[in-house]
Chain A
Amino acid sequence: MELKIRKNGENYIIDVNGEMDLYNSYKLKELVMKMLEKKVERFIINLENVDYIDSSGIGALIYICSTIKKMSMKLIITNIHGSVKKVIELTKLMGYFPITNSIEEAIQQMDE
């Protein structure tokens, strides 16, 4: 799994590439925690290039989501598709996570 950070105005977009599985999901968690320490306030997690997620990946997203909520920062998860979407649906978390269909939509929602 590879993580890349891009900046768009106040928004930090994290592009996740590869598999969010039991061996590497912690990396995303660690990255977000580091960014929070550096006072980043707006996160967009882009899952466009993620075709596989397991419970550790879902767990990482839950952890990130609840931490950011508690700190009153902003998070949007975007471009969820394929089996990633299926797993989130099976876990019934589609309504729990803040989700948009595209990065553009995410940026728009951030500004609302």
Chain B
Amino acid sequence: MENTYLSELKEIKVDEGSPLFDKTNMFYKEFPSDFRQIRYFTLLIVQTAPLEIKEINLLEQQISEIIKNAVKHGNKCDPERKVRVWYSFSPQHAHLVVQDEGDGFKDLEKWNDFNRKRLELLSRHDFENLQDYVSYRTLLSDDNDGGNALFAALEYWNGGFVFNTKRNAVAMLKKYPQKRQGISVE
């Protein structure tokens, strides 16, 4: 049972009805699709997060990946097109919805198949064949696309990583372990 649950969790979902798309009480910011300003826009959002969840830049890095995808793959770096971000942070969670004005992540199923294959090879320690599965590339990928951001995203956003029906908006949730007062549980 546990296993089915886990493997179910480790894929990108499409579900517009997901509670992760409920934007009640979330903050909102929008940005033009300027590639040079992706890290700056990310900082504007992350600076509102409490210190304890900003742990060693990881939250910032993970959010910048999603904004980068929206700017680059969604809006094709067209400054006329906006990236819209809803966000809410607490010591226990990070919740974001990032929406672009593009045609959507059409090959999402292909990506899930690719990732499933990758995880299979990893679990078999088959590093020989893993070579072909360390980077997800499409005909539109360029030299600067690593093709790996969403592999990490799926691991990081442990509360879910879900696209809307048009696949141009993605909602994500990270839950942080509760730390008891005075005792650090590592």
- A residues neighboring B (CB under 8 Å): 21-23, 25-26, 51-60, 62, 66, 69, 82-83, 86-87, 90-93, 95-96
Contacts and interface: CB of A to CB of B under 8 A. Distances in A.
B148 interface: yes
Contact of B155 (A57, A66, A90): A90
A90 B152 contact: yes
B152 A62 contact: no
A22 B38 contact: yes
B1 interface: no
B106 interface: no
B149 A55 contact: yes
Contacts of A95: 122, 125, 127
Interface string B111-138: 0000000110010010100110011000
A83 B57 contact: yes
Interface in B1-59: 35-36, 38-39, 55-58
Contacts, number: 83
Most chain A C-beta atoms within 10 Å of own C-beta, residue among B35, B56, B68, B135 = B56
Contact of B148 (A21, A26, A58, A82): A58
B186 interface: no
Contact of A54 (B56, B61, B147, B151): B61
B88 interface: no
22 contacts: A51-B56, A53-B61, A54-B65, A55-B65, A55-B68, A55-B147, A55-B152, A56-B145, A59-B145, A59-B147, A59-B148, A83-B55, A83-B57, A87-B58, A87-B152, A90-B151, A90-B155, A91-B148, A91-B155, A92-B119, A93-B134, A95-B122
Interface of B is mostly: helix
B122 A92 contact: yes
Contact of B127 (A60, A83, A86, A96): A96
Nearest to A70: B131
Contacts of A82: 56-57
Nearest to A56: B146
Given A62-B134, A96-B130, A52 B156 contact: no
A87 B134 contact: no
Contacts of B127: 95-96
Nearest to A86: B58
A14 to B, nearest CB: 19
